[in-house]
Amino acid sequence: MGKRPDVTLRRAALSDFDFFLAVKSGTSDIYWTGHEAPPEREVLREFFVTQLGSATRTVFICEADGEPVGYLYLDTTSDDSYDIGYSILDRLHGRGLGSGMIRALLSLPEIASGSWTVAAWILERNLASRSIVLANGFAATAELRMVSVPLEEREEPQRKYVWRHGG
């Protein structure tokens, strides 16, 4: 797999649950998405089923070389804007998959056409997450919000990064 691996996105299905559980049980997902411990299988399954039926969230599975490597949430926040959330399997970090996932997202017909704004809220310390959005044309804004980081037992600032159709 090169540094610019080809990542594709497809809509998640219930049959992706074991893979989703594997990603959500990874140390970095737990830490950076604001949890304290790995999820309980049945609790996460209920959450996953709810997400699949959500009117405002689409769950994508990211694939490379025909294998699932991560997930991405695409949340409609208004008529013309989306928020995103994502993770790549721990053991595959640092190979360009995260950046490829964002590239694939921005190439989706529903994003590439129209006048969408895509926002990512990223903890100031999450340098890998910041890198993958900045590498794909997002810009840092001045907007900050405080969120809980349970494993540090404190709140920390998240910055909003925004991509606009047409730059």
Minimum CB–partner distance for residue 114 and ligand COA (Å): 24
Interface region with ligand COA, contact rule CB under 6 A, candidates 55-63, 72-80, 127-135, 143-151: 127-135
Which residue type is seen at 102?
I
Contact between 59 and ligand COA (CB under 6 A)? Answer: no
Separation in Å, CA 43 to CA 17, 21, 119: 12, 10, 28
Mask for 20-49, x = binds ligand COA (CB under 6 A): --------xx--xx----------------
Length of the chain: 167
Contact between 82 and ligand COA (CB under 6 A)? Answer: no
Task: Give Dmax (Cα) for the chain.
Answer: 42
Contact between 116 and ligand COA (CB under 6 A)? Answer: no
Helix (H, G, I), strand (E, B) or coil at 112: helix
Structure tokens at 106: 């921005």
Contact between 132 and ligand COA (CB under 6 A)? Answer: yes
Which uninterrupted H or E stretch holds 41? Answer: helix 41-52
Contact between 8 and ligand COA (CB under 6 A)? Answer: no
Contact between 128 and ligand COA (CB under 6 A)? Answer: yes
Contact between 9 and ligand COA (CB under 6 A)? Answer: no
113: number of Cβ within 10 Å? 9
Structure tokens at 164: 């606009």
Q: Which is nearer to ligand COA, 111 or 134 (CB)?
A: 134
**Quick one: which of 97, 118, 119, 149 contacts ligand COA (CB under 6 A)?**
97
- Give the integer Cα–Cα distance in Å for 161 and 131: 11
Q: Which is nearer to ligand COA, 116 or 120 (CB)?
A: 120
The answer to whether 83 and 121 are in contact (CB under 8 A) is yes
Task: Note the residues at the interface with ligand COA (CB under 6 A).
Answer: 28-29, 32-33, 86-88, 93-99, 122, 126-129, 131-132
